[in-house]
C-alpha cells in the first residue's frame, strides 16, 4: 500500500464539526501516548484530565508537544 500523498491531495478541512471531532479524537490519542506522558514528566507538568475545564489546557499542551516534536524532527 502506497501511503505517499502529494501536495494536491491534501485537503484542508474547514472549521467544521467533522474536523473538530477528528481533532478531539487525535488529541486524546496523543495525550494518552507514552511519548506525550514522558514529555510532560520531563517538564514537570501536571497530567491532563478529561474534564471540560481541562480541554483548553489539553489542547494547548498537545499543540506545544506537537510543535516541539516537529521542530526536533526538522533538524
Chain centre to alpha carbon of residue 6: 22
9 domain residue, yes or no: no
Q: Which residues contact 30 (CB under 8 A, 6 or more apart)?
A: 36, 62, 65, 66
38 domain residue, yes or no: yes
Does the model's pTM come out above 0.85? Answer: no
65 domain residue, yes or no: yes
Structural domain boundaries enclosing 27: 17-74
Number of structural domains found in the chain: 1
Q: Which residues contact 43 (CB under 8 A, 6 or more apart)?
A: none
Q: Can you give the pLDDT at residue 45?
A: 79
Q: Can you give the pLDDT at residue 18?
A: 86
Distances (CA, A) of 45 to 5, 8, 38, 48, 49: 36, 39, 10, 9, 12
Over the chain (75 residues), the average pLDDT of each successive run of 10 is 48 72 91 93 74 69 93 86
CA 10 to CA 56: how far, in whole Å? Answer: 27
5 domain residue, yes or no: no
Amino acid at each position: 500500500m502506497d501511503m505517499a500523498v502529494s501536495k494536491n491531495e491534501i485537503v484542508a478541512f474547514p472549521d467544521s464539526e467533522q474536523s473538530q471531532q477528528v481533532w478531539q479524537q487525535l488529541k486524546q490519542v496523543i495525550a494518552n501516548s507514552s511519548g506525550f506522558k514522558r514529555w510532560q514528566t520531563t517538564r514537570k507538568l501536571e497530567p491532563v484530565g478529561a474534564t471540560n475545564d481541562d480541554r483548553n489546557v489539553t489542547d494547548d499542551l498537545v499543540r506545544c508537544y506537537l510543535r516541539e516534536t516537529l521542530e526536533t524532527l526538522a533538524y
